[in-house]
Amino acid sequence: MASVLGRLEERERAARRRFEKLQPELEAAQSEWDEWLIARRRLKEVWDCGETTGQEGEVR
C-alpha cells in the first residue's frame, strides 16, 4: 500500500510542478484577455455614443 501512496504523491508533485511552470503564462493570458474585454467595452461605449449624438455632440 505504501508504494501506491508513494506513486500518488509523486504524481501530485509532478502536477504541482507543471502548474507552477504554467501559472505565469496563464496569468499573462488572463491579463491580455482582460485588456481586450476592456477595449471592446470602451469601443462599444464610443460607438453607442456616436449613434445617439450628432456630429457636434448634440443628442438627436
Mean pLDDT of the chain, nearest integer = 89
Show the cell assigned to 12.
501530485
Q: What is the pLDDT of residues 20-43, one digit of tens each?
A: 999 999 999 999 999 999 999 999
Name the residue with cell 448634440: 58
**pLDDT bracket for residue 4 (50, 70, 90):** very high
Region 11-18 average pLDDT: 98
CA distance 26 to 7: 28
pTM for this predicted structure: 0.60
Q: DSSP assignment, residue 57?
A: S
What is the Cα–Cα distance from 56 to 53, expressed in whole angstroms? 8
